[in-house]
Amino acid sequence: MTFATGPETFSTLAGELAGRFSPDYRKAWSDHDFRDYAQRAFAFQFEHNSAYRAFCTRRGVTPTQLDHWTRVPAVPTSAFKHLPLVSGTPDEVDVVFRTSGTTRGAQLRGEHRVRSLELYRAAAMPNLALHLFADDPGRVTIFSLVPSPDLAPESSLSRMMAFAVEAWGAPESGFFTHPERGVDIDRFARALHGAAERGDRVWVAGTAFAFVHWIDAVATAQAPRVVLPAGSRVMDTGGFKGRSREVSRAELYQGIEQALGVPERLIINEYGMTEMLSQFYEPNIAQGVELDLNARFHQGPPWVRTQVLDPQTLAPVADGEPGLLCHFDLANLGSVCAILTEDLGVAVESGFRLLGRTPGAEPRGCSLALEDLLR
């Protein structure tokens, strides 16, 4: 079977996808649905992204020759540091998100040119709601230790938190970072104390390093320990990204539980990246399960499919074997859907277990793909 091409506009296809990224998405997708949209998205990107079209042609894959979405050539995340991978023209871009640039040097930052913030919102919000609030939907007091878009306009995570505060945030919600000091200790302490006194259910979101900052403040009596009301939860977005201090995940979650009174089972890790507009979450709340930290895994929405590939050859690994995570994200319609990461993982029944970054140099498969893309 081959995939056929045809005229397709971004607004038409993006509008269809946004309509399918619904809160009840678990029942709304099938493998056939994904295959159909993957076909159309690849054909659109092949037509409207000249750098990607040349890359795919060199690899012998065109929309008329494609027999399965897993054969769509994946672009390594490092390519976003070198090429404007937009499927369209520069004047059609809503926003440019940029990576921190600290994982392997600050001199070069990846850039994701996003054609539709509304498509990003449509993909991010139902997935976030399912994995953070499936057990208790409704308004919640949101305290973000992720900077606001005013302070970090190039951060996709900051924009996602702004979407959440706008959609679900109770009046006392807000951002608690300072442009120079990191976490605004005094304001955050007052906000936590007020929520505890009112009995408000609270959602605290932040990077691992931001939580370490708060834990240290509590440990050194710069801030009081607060026990947040029952039903409160924490979203840890992971990553120390070159910071001078790192702690183990077990130590981090113990510290959060001590400082905020939120039990470990309600501390959820989010895995995402600038180069993708969909995210992955641990399903503790979504599935009502309580897993040991070592047994936790991530799952994405049904408009994302993940393969685990050999770092050298980029061939699929055997079941249960570790490899590079390669995601096909339909929310990336305006750039490139097939993304090859440098993150290691192993497939499990309902998702994948994240093993961390590949050590040392860029994996050979990623390096060869980048060379092929740039020539």
Backbone angles phi, psi at 309, to 5 degrees: -120, 150
**How many angstroms separate the CA atoms of 82 and 79, rounded?**
5
pLDDT of residue 102: 55
Instruction: Give Dmax over CA atoms of the chain in angstroms.
Output: 66
pLDDT digits (tens, 9 = 90+) for 277-329: 999 999 999 888 888 898 999 999 999 999 999 999 999 999 999 999 999 99
Q: Of 17-26, 101-110, 138-147, which range is least confident? A: 101-110
CATH number listed for the domain at residues 118-295: 3.40.50
**How many angstroms separate the CA atoms of 62 and 67, rounded?**
10
pLDDT of residue 135: 75
Of all residues in the chain, what percent carry a pLDDT higher than 90?
Answer: 77
Q: Confidence class of residue 360 from pLDDT cuts 50, 70 and 90?
A: low
**How many angstroms separate the CA atoms of 92 and 116, rounded?**
9
Q: Report the chain's C-alpha Rg in angstroms.
A: 21
Give the chain's count of helices (H) and strands (E).
10, 15
Q: Confidence class of residue 41 from pLDDT cuts 50, 70 and 90?
A: very high
Question: Under DSSP, is residue 141 helix (H, G, I), strand (E, B) or coil?
Answer: strand
pLDDT of residue 25: 60
- Find the Cα–Cα–Cα–Cα dihedral 56, 58, 64, 67, rounded to 10°: -70
Does the pLDDT value for residue 272 go beyond 80? yes
Backbone angles phi, psi at 189, to 5 degrees: -60, -45
Supply the mean pLDDT for the chain.
90
Does the pLDDT value for residue 127 go beyond 60? yes
pLDDT of residue 137: 72
Does the pLDDT value for residue 15 go beyond 70? yes
10-91+302-374 folds as Luciferase; domain 3 (2.30.38)
pLDDT digits (tens, 9 = 90+) for 136-180: 777 899 999 999 999 999 999 999 999 999 999 999 999 999 887
Does the pLDDT value for residue 1 go beyond 60? no
**How many angstroms separate the CA atoms of 316 and 70, rounded?**
10
Backbone angles phi, psi at 77, to 5 degrees: -60, -30
Boundaries of every domain in the chain = 10-91+302-374, 118-295
Mean pLDDT of 55-66: 93
**How many angstroms separate the CA atoms of 363 and 341, rounded?**
10
pLDDT of residue 5: 44
Of all residues in the chain, what percent carry a pLDDT higher than 70?
Answer: 92
For 140, which DSSP code?
B
Q: What angle do CA 278, 280, 283 make, to 5 degrees?
A: 140
For 106, which DSSP code?
S
- Find the Cα–Cα–Cα–Cα dihedral 233, 239, 242, 244, rounded to 10°: 40
Does the pLDDT value for residue 67 go beyond 90? no
Does the pLDDT value for residue 4 go beyond 70? no
pLDDT of residue 244: 41
In DSSP terms, which residues pair with 270 in a beta bridge?
281
Q: Of 18-27, 128-137, 199-208, 267-276, which range is least confident? A: 18-27
pLDDT of residue 337: 98
